[in-house]
């Protein structure tokens, strides 16, 4: 068996890969560098000479060959490697007639717990969405409690408003539902020192990404100093070396690799093993539709330190879209897939461009003085 065709397709802010083989199988993958899908596509095009005619079963070899081809690194490269890697695992599972999780050591759980992403802002909207999620069977919800004008508030107002919104959600769902608090890299380290401890009394399962991702050591420092509040980091990191430094400097925490960004299934399982060695848990990042959800589910099924899988309402909306999963959500859980490979059917024929993020890339928050709010 050899790879006979490499198909890379950009649909809006979505990017998919299909690998065709000489025995008629097709492996499917997706990247998660949603800001620059055309750049990821260009890198996959550069991979083509290596992949054509290659044995698709040499997954680890291909990972290193593609990652080390040129002396350049970054999320665009790792996302391209991830899409190809996921497709190679899909091919291997299909060839052997088993689901990917079986190739990763077999299942360690019978179903996958989900936390629902809540899209609202403000206490009232988030509390209502959280109540609806719990009524639908979810046992965990994730939300951003920062006010929309966070960049121009006094520190006191920033802290009290964020805490009040978190309190509204906790009061609505009670103590039997886990809260995952997402701060979307909006704070400075000094703001985080005030905001994060204020959330402690609401007992969040985790508080994620309070500061920008420019420095691994700065993220680790915030995690280490956030006593009493479990921290989560890593959705924009993309190598085992970055996660190694994060865990070594910041200690046990929730790691958040995105399989479509952090080198695919091959690399994410190594990140999970690093986390396990640090008594840390895996809550993989995921918000770009059913294909990456299913890739994440196979990893979740096979690792011991999985806690809860991120799940976007987009998965329900795209259930009949170009990427169709073999399993459907059952309340707040996904069944473990039993189909060979990923268990995803990808049909890009006449597929329309997708809007997976809902945000034009150039639209970012500005402070009242006109400066970029993220530049901290």
Main-chain phi, psi angles of 181, to 5 degrees? -100, 120
Question: Which residue is it, tokens 């000094």?
Answer: 190
**Are 16 and 154 in a shared domain?**
no
Q: Which of 184, 238, 267, 278 is catalytic?
A: 184
Q: Are 114 and 333 in contact (CB under 8 A)?
A: yes
pLDDT band for 163, please (50, 70, 90 cuts).
very high
**Are 197 and 90 in a shared domain?**
no
Which CATH number characterizes residue 297's domain? 3.20.20.120
Q: What is the token pair recorded at 268?
A: 């994410």
Q: What is the token pair recorded at 188?
A: 């400075």
Residue 5, helix vs strand vs coil: strand
**Are 93 and 128 in a shared domain?**
no
**Are 136 and 276 in a shared domain?**
yes
In a domain, 363, yes or no: no
**Number of domain units in the chain:** 2
Q: Are 177 and 139 in contact (CB under 8 A)?
A: yes
Sequential DSSP letters for 75-101: HHHHHHHHHHHHHHHHHHHHHHTSBHH
* Predicted local distance difference test score (pLDDT) of residue 374: 81
Which CATH number characterizes residue 9's domain? 3.30.390.10
In a domain, 357, yes or no: no
In a domain, 352, yes or no: no
In a domain, 162, yes or no: yes
> Of the residues 99, 126, 157, which one is the last residue of a structural domain?
99
The answer to whether residue 285 is catalytic is: yes
In a domain, 364, yes or no: no
**Are 43 and 106 in a shared domain?**
no
**Are 94 and 110 in a shared domain?**
no
Separation between Cα atoms, residue 376 and residue 211, nearest integer Å = 8
**Are 220 and 144 in a shared domain?**
yes
Contacts 24+ apart (CB under 8 A), 150-157: 150/186, 150/373, 151/186, 151/365, 151/366, 151/367, 151/368, 151/373, 152/367, 152/368, 155/191, 155/194
**Are 152 and 212 in a shared domain?**
yes
* Predicted local distance difference test score (pLDDT) of residue 358: 87
In a domain, 57, yes or no: yes
**Are 183 and 215 in a shared domain?**
yes
Does 182 score more than 80 pLDDT? yes
The tens digit of pLDDT for each residue in 114-151 reads 999 999 999 999 999 999 999 999 999 999 999 999 99
The distance from CA 108 to its chain's CA centroid, rounded to whole angstroms, is 21
Separation between Cα atoms, residue 320 and residue 317, nearest integer Å = 8
> Of the residues 70, 99, 128, which one is the last residue of a structural domain?
99
Q: Which of 115, 238, 278, 285 is catalytic?
A: 285
The tens digit of pLDDT for each residue in 207-243 reads 999 999 999 999 999 999 887 899 999 999 999 999 9
Task: Give percent of the chain with pLDDT exceeding 70.
Answer: 99
Q: Are 52 and 36 in contact (CB under 8 A)?
A: no
Summarize the confidence of residues 231-257 as an average pLDDT: 96
Separation between Cα atoms, residue 271 and residue 354, nearest integer Å = 29
Residue 282's domain comprises: 101-346
Q: What is the token pair recorded at 154?
A: 């006094």
The answer to whether residue 184 is catalytic is: yes
Does 276 score more than 70 pLDDT? yes
With a CB cutoff of 8 Å and minimum separation 6, the contacts of 291 are 16, 28, 29, 30, 86, 323, 325, 342, 344, 346
Please, what is the average pLDDT of the chain? 96
* Predicted local distance difference test score (pLDDT) of residue 328: 96
Identify the H or E element spanning 277. helix 264-277
In a domain, 354, yes or no: no
* Predicted local distance difference test score (pLDDT) of residue 227: 73
Does 34 score more than 80 pLDDT? yes
Helices 59-68 and 75-96 cross at an angle (nearest 10°) of 160
* Predicted local distance difference test score (pLDDT) of residue 302: 98
Q: Are 137 and 331 in contact (CB under 8 A)?
A: yes
**Are 52 and 125 in a shared domain?**
no
In a domain, 373, yes or no: no
Does 277 score more than 90 pLDDT? yes
Summarize the confidence of residues 244-267 as an average pLDDT: 96
> Of the residues 99, 130, 159, which one is the last residue of a structural domain?
99
pLDDT band for 359, please (50, 70, 90 cuts).
confident
Separation between Cα atoms, residue 142 and residue 273, nearest integer Å = 25
Per DSSP, 151 falls in state G
The tens digit of pLDDT for each residue in 298-308 reads 999 999 999 99
Residues in the chain: 376
Summarize the confidence of residues 266-281 as an average pLDDT: 98
**Are 200 and 243 in a shared domain?**
yes
Does 375 score more than 70 pLDDT? no
**Are 138 and 228 in a shared domain?**
yes
């Amino acid at each position: 068996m050899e790879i006979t065709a490499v198909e890379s397709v950009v649909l809006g802010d979505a990017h998919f890969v299909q690998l065709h083989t000489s025995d008629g199988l097709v492996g499917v993958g997706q990247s998660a560098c949603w800001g620059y899908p055309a750049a990821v596509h260009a890198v996959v095009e550069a991979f083509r000479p290596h992949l054509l005619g290659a044995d698709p079963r040499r997954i680890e070899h291909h990972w290193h060959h593609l990652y080390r081809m040129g002396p350049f690194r970054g999320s665009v490269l790792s996302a391209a490697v991830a899409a190809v890697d996921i497709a190679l695992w899909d091919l291997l599972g299909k060839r052997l007639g088993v689901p990917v999780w079986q190739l990763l050591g077999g299942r360690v759980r019978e179903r996958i717990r989900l936390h629902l992403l809540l899209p609202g802002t403000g206490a009232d909207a988030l509390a209502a969405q959280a109540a609806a999620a719990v009524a639908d069977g979810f046992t965990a919800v994730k939300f951003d409690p920062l006010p929309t004008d966070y960049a121009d508030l006094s520190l006191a107002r920033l802290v009290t408003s964020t805490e009040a919104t978190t309190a509204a959600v906790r009061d609505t769902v009670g103590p039997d539902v886990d809260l995952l608090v997402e701060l979307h890299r909006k704070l400075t380290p000094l703001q985080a020192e005030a905001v994060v401890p204020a959330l402690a009394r609401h007992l969040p399962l985790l508080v994620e990404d309070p500061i920008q991702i420019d420095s691994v050591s700065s993220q680790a420092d915030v995690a280490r100093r956030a006593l009493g509040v479990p921290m989560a980091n890593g959705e924009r990191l993309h190598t085992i070396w970055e996660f190694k430094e994060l865990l070594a400097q910041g200690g046990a925490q929730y790691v958040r690799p995105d399989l479509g960004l952090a080198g695919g299934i091959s690399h994410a399982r190594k990140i999970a093993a690093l986390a396990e060695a640090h008594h840390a848990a895996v809550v993989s990042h995921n918000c770009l539709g059913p294909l990456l959800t299913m890739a994440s589910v196979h990893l979740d099924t096979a690792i011991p330190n999985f806690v809860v899988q991120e799940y976007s309402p987009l998965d329900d909306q795209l259930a009949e879209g170009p990427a169709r999963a073999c399993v459907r959500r059952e309340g707040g859980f996904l069944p473990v897939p039993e189909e060979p490979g990923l268990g995803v059917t990808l049909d890009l024929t006449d597929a329309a461009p997708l809007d997976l993020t809902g945000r034009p890339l150039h639209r970012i928050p500005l402070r009242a003085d006109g400066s970029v709010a993220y530049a901290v």
